[in-house]
Amino acid sequence: MLDVLFAGEVFCDLVFGGIPHLPAPGTEVYADRFAVSPGGTANRAVAAARLGLRTGILGVIGTDLFGEHLAARLAAERNLDPTWLRRDPAVHTPVTVAVTQEHDRAFLTYEEKGALRPEVWEGELPAVRFLQLGIGRPLPAWAAEFRARGTRVVGGVGWDPTGQWSRDLLTRLAEVDVFVCNAVEATSYTRTGTVEEAVKVLADHVPDVVVTDGGNGAVAVDGTTGELVRVAVPRVPAVDPTGAGDVFTAGLITGLNHDWPLATRLRFAGLCAALSVQNLGGANSAPRWEAIDAFLERTPRIPEADLIRIRAIKP
């Protein structure tokens, strides 16, 4: 059985860091750091695998240079099963150029239709405890089949390039068990002014909802009690925020997999996300247990009960 299967688009990220500003048309700006990293759904999959979850990834990449690099990188990750990562010679592997500064980033992406999340499942469905996928468009039939078999479905969403933030998304929340998004996405889809207001609206549509709020931490509603919970995120020097939300999601699912209380899940997910921003590249910077251990040793403010839970799952 897999602990979690991540389904979605897989990118090869070319990450430029340490730039003073974005280049204006006709000018050139030099970066002082560069990395090639798996991106998109791979951010979450690599992060979960490094946290010790038995992880699978479903997506489509090409057989080109970028696809070869991604396939080799993902196959080398312990606990990550690439069985469902399809290779299509007719598809150009999606590529994103990420230009990052300390607190923000900008992206330039090339993606073909054939590299989108597969709508048809080929072969038998594996046994899976958690399925994570985007709900920005209608969910495929196989997602409902997973859920009917007892898999808990964790929904996410990304930036809406149309700027419409269609409220159709709220109707799709009935098809998932947990919804995770960031503050801009939450307030835009709910037409609210604050994260707290947005969380309450979303909680009317899905049992468990978590909204990440950058340096302000995360806000969630306890699906059992209806309590609003906000947990702060550790303050760390930031190099590249790319993929921090993906790492947060992987940490949150780790906590769900171990049946932790909501505040513990949020605290651990925020810790993992904070560690990830200290290096370049989304999947590349997903923390390993050595980094988590070191952080816990030098951070006395984490509640003792949380420390016990976190240390108990170390592989």
In this structure, what CATH number is given to the domain that contains residue 80?
3.40.1190.20
| 133-162 pLDDT tens trace | 999 999 999 999 999 999 999 999 988 888
65's CB contacts (< 8 A; 6+ apart) are none
Establish if 105 belongs to a structural domain. no
Query: Smallest Cα–Cα separation from 159: which of 133, 188, 139?
Result: 188
Q: What is the pLDDT of residue 315?
A: 84
Tokens for 153?
A: 């479905």
Q: Tell me, what's the pLDDT at 161?
A: 85
DSSP 8-state assignment for residue 160: -
Q: Is residue 84 part of a domain?
A: yes
Residue 138 lies in a domain: yes
Asked whether residue 24 is domain-assigned, the answer is no
Where in the sequence is the domain holding 258, given as residue range(s)?
2-10+39-91+112-312
Q: What are phi and psi of 108, to 5 degrees?
A: -130, 120
Predicted pLDDT at 300: 67
Residue 107 domain-assigned (yes or no): no
pLDDT recorded at residue 84? 97
Tell me which residues of the chain have a pLDDT lower than 70. 102-104, 300
pTM, whole model, 2 decimals? Answer: 0.94
Overall size of the chain counted in residues: 315
pLDDT at residue 103, as a whole number: 61
Residue 101 in domain:
no
Please give the sequence-ordered ranges of beta strands (E in DSSP) within the chain, or none if there are none: 2-7, 10-17, 33-40, 55-61, 80-81, 85-87, 95-100, 105-110, 128-134, 152-156, 178-182, 208-212, 218-221, 228-231
Q: What is the pLDDT of residue 209?
A: 96
For 146-236, where are the E strands, in sequence order?
152-156, 178-182, 208-212, 218-221, 228-231
Q: Is residue 21 part of a domain?
A: no
Q: Return the pLDDT at 88.
A: 97
Q: Would 194 be classed as within a structural domain?
A: yes
The pLDDT, as a whole number, for residue 250 is 98
Q: Is 184 helix (H, G, I), strand (E, B) or coil?
A: helix
Residue 191: left (phi > 0), alpha (psi -120 to 50), or beta? left
Count of structural domains, the chain: 1
